[in-house]
Amino acid sequence: MIEITNLTKTYGKNKAVDDITFTVNKGEILGFLGPNGAGKTTTMNILTGFISSTSGSVKVDGFDVLEKPEEVKKRIGYLPEHPPLYLDMTVKEYLDFCADLKSVPKKDWKNQKIDIMELVKITHVSHRLIKNLSKGYRQRVGLAQALVGTPDVLVLDEPTVGLDPKQIIEIRKLIRALGKNHTIILSSHILPEVSAICDRVVIINKGKIAAIDTPDNLARKLSDFSRFSITIAGPESRVKDALQEVYGIKYLETQGGNASKDEFSYLVEADKELDVRKPVFHKLAERGFPILELKSMGLSLEDIFLQLTTTETKED
């Protein structure tokens, strides 16, 4: 759906975007991550036709953003970090204005407007002035304008910035729902949000791509071991002796428990090339120690992000 090839943008001697290439598949929600000044916003501005690139190409649904800008813009809905709202308009007036800008046929707009307002849950505030709305509702109005014209692609830059926890959850659910019918590029500094929503992530640092993959695959590639937490019923010393007999376990630590019930939780790190879960199960079953809980503790997206961007900085 989106093809970005050898994209470069320079400002004097500074390369804001440095020869980046990646694609976004139709129906995919892609997380676009990077520290401040990494080139995210510049890339999104080029993709949406707001600024031009120095070299390279951006294509949306086969149309080049420089050669066919109108065709590209028809297919993209953009929510910048600060939504471009006219505060003295009502919600309804503002959406009508956006529909005129996007040349949405009037015969289609009436029903489309109703659908959009219901989708983002702003129907009941449609006659209120935007300046009298809360931050959360303004963000919803910004998202509504991005949906005007039913674009195939949504580019969302920090869609939950400044929202309270309840509003963040609501917008997150809405983005997931939109992902069923749209291709989405999501830029956010709230990394658990990206983990919860996105299919893949692109991490950019100092204008260059540091990684492209799913969070799970990146965690496996960047970690030197697999890590999990396991809760076991049995005397602590005997359980630890049993676990240390399992080939591949490199590190074992008690994390807490209930001594009166002989139930303890352990942090286990093992060779990442080996799946030690079955050997652990068989060893503990052989000794008569039931497993009460087992959960993976792989690298989080925050860990991955910091590892990639910090490593790049040190190398520079």
* Residue 235 φ/ψ region, left for φ over 0, alpha for ψ in the -120 to 50 degree band, beta for the rest: beta
* End-to-end Cα distance, the chain: 34
d(CA 171, CA 190): 13
Any idea which residue has 């009508």 for tokens? 96
CA proximity to 232, closest of 279, 284, 297, 283: 284
Q: What is the DSSP string of 64-107?
A: ETTTSHHHHHHTEEEE-SS----TTSBHHHHHHHHHHHTT--HH
CA proximity to 145, closest of 101, 193, 189, 87: 101
Domain residue spans in the chain? 2-214, 224-296
Q: Which residues pair with 227 in a beta bridge?
A: 269
pLDDT in tens, the chain (316 residues): 899 999 999 998 899 999 999 999 988 999 999 888 888 889 999 999 889 999 999 999 999 999 998 899 989 999 988 888 999 999 999 999 999 999 999 999 999 999 999 988 899 999 999 999 988 899 899 999 999 999 999 999 988 877 788 888 888 888 888 888 899 999 888 787 788 888 899 999 999 999 898 887 787 777 667 888 999 999 999 999 999 999 999 899 998 888 888 999 999 988 877 888 899 999 999 999 999 999 877 677 777 777 788 754 444 4
d(CA 93, CA 88): 10
Fold (CATH) for 224-296:
Alpha-Beta Plaits (3.30.70)
Q: Are 235 and 258 in contact (CB under 8 A)?
A: no
Q: Which CATH architecture has domain 2-214?
A: 3-Layer(aba) Sandwich (3.40)
Q: Are 308 and 203 in contact (CB under 8 A)?
A: yes
Q: What is the DSSP string of 123-138?
A: GGGTTSBGGGS-HHHH
